[in-house]
């Protein structure tokens, strides 16, 4: 029996957390002498006010779906992959190498090839921390953070030295060949007679991201591997007892996670820039953490959370153009969302639970002090949320 109805758990709590984050962000905006209401208006019109704006919002959404899924898959095995940024950077390298050194006759084939390259490179970058965690017990949080720094230095080195075309000053690759151009929304929608902004970067990889959501859902809740990942996440001793190899689960989960983060490069490197530049990921790897927490590690939740962060990111960019508020406002909002939905979950949850118990009368059972948290996070106690998964699987 639950203390709260399901809708409260999956909708009300994230919503309250979001409002809290918005409230504190508004305080920050006030503190630096700007008007938060006006700022919100600028963000809404800048991110949702036109087809052009939507084209950018959905472009960022695509990035965040990939990185959010990456963090979520690792969360299910109770691994905290902070390395999405580095894995996405390496994914970009994979895309660039595939597209530059192989001849592609048509974009659809190039998309498949680039996806394989991106996933392979991203997975490889996650593999070393995974093996170190599984074999040596090195803390994956520390190693993945270090791999972010190392990825940045590696890409810097490659772009400055090996990948830069002759005679070019800027550390970037040359433009990818013409046949690898991915259709953007305007080109995709034109055959249906729908007009869309030509300048906006949203492209066909948005559909790939949606497909990835379905694939991750199927993987986690409809396959044997997904079951093993969740079992391992719940209780390592129990999983071990059931014959699940911890080493295998850690390595495979991290490879899938890194591969998903790497596939973000389909959108930003192949779809938008059409060449590899420095710092192409623009923090999307880190935003994935907030997206996964907000989306409760469920692909549908991640889709919604990614949309929200796409709005915030594009709105924040427009805000920094029109007002003195710097674009780093998004970092503060991101931090507050992670804080309220991830770490301070109980602060919102407990009073609500008490409220629902009181509303229902005395028949309700007193809640177990820590059993009702529905956050699938990398907690250190395997027994932290015994009922979370059971609730969720029933509804899918």
Partner 1 sequence: MDYATLLQILDATIRLATPLLLACLAGLWSERAGIFDIGLEGKMLIAAFAAAATAAIYGSAWLGVLAGIAASLVLSGIHGLASITFRGNQLISGVALNFLASGLTILVAVGLFRESGRTPPLSGAGRFDTITLPFADAAASLPIIGPLYAEVLSGHSILVYIGLAMVPLTWWVMFRTRFGLRLRAVGENPAAVDTAGVSVIGLRWAAVAICGVLCGLAGAYLSTALQAGFTREMTAGRGYIALAALIFAKWRPWYALGSTMLFGFLQAIALRSDVIENLLGFRIQIQLLDAMPYILVVVFVAFVGRAVPPRAGGEPYVKER
Residues that bind partner 1 (CB under 8 A): 28, 31-33, 80, 82, 128-129, 132, 136, 138-139, 141-143, 145-147, 149-150, 153-154, 156-157, 160-161, 286, 289, 293, 324-326, 328-336, 338-339, 342-347, 350, 369-370, 375, 377-381
Residue 140 vs residues 18, 236, 250, 262: alpha-carbon distances, Å: 28, 16, 10, 18
Task: Work out how close the CB of 340 gets to partner 1 at its nearest, in angstroms, rounded to a whole number.
Answer: 9
Nearer to partner 1, 53 or 294 (CB): 294
Cβ-contact 70, 133 below 8 angstroms: no
Task: Work out how close the CB of 153 gets to partner 1 at its nearest, in angstroms, rounded to a whole number.
Answer: 4
Nearer to partner 1, 96 or 202 (CB): 96
Task: Work out how close the CB of 272 gets to partner 1 at its nearest, in angstroms, rounded to a whole number.
Answer: 24
Nearer to partner 1, 96 or 319 (CB): 319
How far apart CA 290 and CA 72 sit, in angstroms, is 10
Nearer to partner 1, 33 or 103 (CB): 33
How far apart CA 260 and CA 238 sit, in angstroms, is 28
DSSP for 225-267 reads: HHHHHHHHHH-HHHHHHTT--HHHHHHHHHHHHHHHHHHTHII
How far apart CA 57 and CA 311 sit, in angstroms, is 5
Question: Which residue in 371, 374, 395 sits closest to 384, CA to CA?
Answer: 371
Task: Work out how close the CB of 334 gets to partner 1 at its nearest, in angstroms, rounded to a whole number.
Answer: 5
Tokens coding 119: 């996933």
Give me the residues paired with residue 184 across strands. 203
Task: Work out how close the CB of 172 gets to partner 1 at its nearest, in angstroms, rounded to a whole number.
Answer: 15
Cβ neighbours for 10, distance < 8 A, ≥ 6 positions apart: 296, 301, 374
Nearer to partner 1, 246 or 379 (CB): 379
Nearer to partner 1, 162 or 169 (CB): 162
Nearer to partner 1, 67 or 205 (CB): 67
Task: Work out how close the CB of 323 gets to partner 1 at its nearest, in angstroms, rounded to a whole number.
Answer: 10
Backbone angles phi, psi at 277, to 5 degrees: -115, 170
Angle at 294 between CA 270 and CA 256, to 5 degrees: 50
Task: Work out how close the CB of 380 gets to partner 1 at its nearest, in angstroms, rounded to a whole number.
Answer: 4
First to last CA, the chain: 18
């Amino acid at each position: 029996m639950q203390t709260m109805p399901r809708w409260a758990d999956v909708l009300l709590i994230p919503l309250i957390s979001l409002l809290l984050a918005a409230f504190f962000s508004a305080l920050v905006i006030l503190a630096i002498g700007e008007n938060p209401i006006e700022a919100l208006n600028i963000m809404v019109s800048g991110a949702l006010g036109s087809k052009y704006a939507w084209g950018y919002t959905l472009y960022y959404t695509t990035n965040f779906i990939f990185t959010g899924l990456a963090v979520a898959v690792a969360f299910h095995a109770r691994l905290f992959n902070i390395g999405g940024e580095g894995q996405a950077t390496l994914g970009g390298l994979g895309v660039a190498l595939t597209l530059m050194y192989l001849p592609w006759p048509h974009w659809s084939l190039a998309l498949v090839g680039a996806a394989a390259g991106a996933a392979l490179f991203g997975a490889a970058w996650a593999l070393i921390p995974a093996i170190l965690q599984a074999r040596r017990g090195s803390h994956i949080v520390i190693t993945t953070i270090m791999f972010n720094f190392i990825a940045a230095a590696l890409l810097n080195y490659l772009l400055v030295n090996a990948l830069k075309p002759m005679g070019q000053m800027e550390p970037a690759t040359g433009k990818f060949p013409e046949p690898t151009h991915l259709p953007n929304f305007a080109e995709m929608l034109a055959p249906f007679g729908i007009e869309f902004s030509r300048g906006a970067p949203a492209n066909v990889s948005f559909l790939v991201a949606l497909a990835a959501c379905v694939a991750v859902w199927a993987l986690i809740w409809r396959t044997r591997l997904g079951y093993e990942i969740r079992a391992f996440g719940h209780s390592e001793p129990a999983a071990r007892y059931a014959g699940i190899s911890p080493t295998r689960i850690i390595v495979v989960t991290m490879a899938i996670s890194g591969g998903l983060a790497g596939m973000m490069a389909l959108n930003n490197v192949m779809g938008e820039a059409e060449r590899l530049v420095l710092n192409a990921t623009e923090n999307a790897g880190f935003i994935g953490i907030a997206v996964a927490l907000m989306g409760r590690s469920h692909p549908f939740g991640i889709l919604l959370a990614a949309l929200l962060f796409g709005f915030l990111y594009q709105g924040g960019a427009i805000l920094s153009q029109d007002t003195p508020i710097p674009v780093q406002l998004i970092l503060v909002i991101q931090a507050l969302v992670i804080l309220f939905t991830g770490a301070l979950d109980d602060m919102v949850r407990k009073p609500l639970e008490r409220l629902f118990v009181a509303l229902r009368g005395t028949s309700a059972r007193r809640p177990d002090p820590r059993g009702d948290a529905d956050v699938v996070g990398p907690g250190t106690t395997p027994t932290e949320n015994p009922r979370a998964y059971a609730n969720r699987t029933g509804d899918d």
